Amino acid sequence: MLTRLSLRKSLPLVLGLFGLAFTLLLTAWHLPWRADEALHSWRNHTQQHLALLQSSLSDHRRYGRIARWRPSWPTWRAWKGCAGQWSSTSSYA
């Protein structure tokens, strides 16, 4: 097919096809690694957030300001099992 076209038409077509193939291969190679990195970053951020929340709850219990937290305890009990190691925060009830 490319032998029937002039060089002015076939060269950009060949370069475009190689560029498209290169982009697809690079994306297929790079995307899984970036997705794992993003998932790890999200989990790390979530664990830090839950640790701060648990620390704040402990401070409130220590200083006797427990009434502010009571309304949210039923919500925390619903998280049991989806929060993994942090599900122990529901044991303050």
- Residue by residue, DSSP assigns 8-26 as HHHHHHHHHHHHHHHHHHH
Whether 72 contacts 90, CB under 8 Å: no
- Token pair 């982009």: residue: 23
Spatial CB neighbours of 10, under 8 Å, sequence gap ≥ 6: 2
pLDDT tens by residue, 28-59: 888 888 888 899 999 999 999 999 888 888 88
pLDDT tens by residue, 70-86: 666 566 666 665 555 55
As a whole number of angstroms, the distance between CA 58 and CA 92 comes to: 9
Average pLDDT over residues 2-17: 82
pLDDT of residue 87: 47
Which amino acid belongs to residue 80? K
pLDDT of residue 92: 47
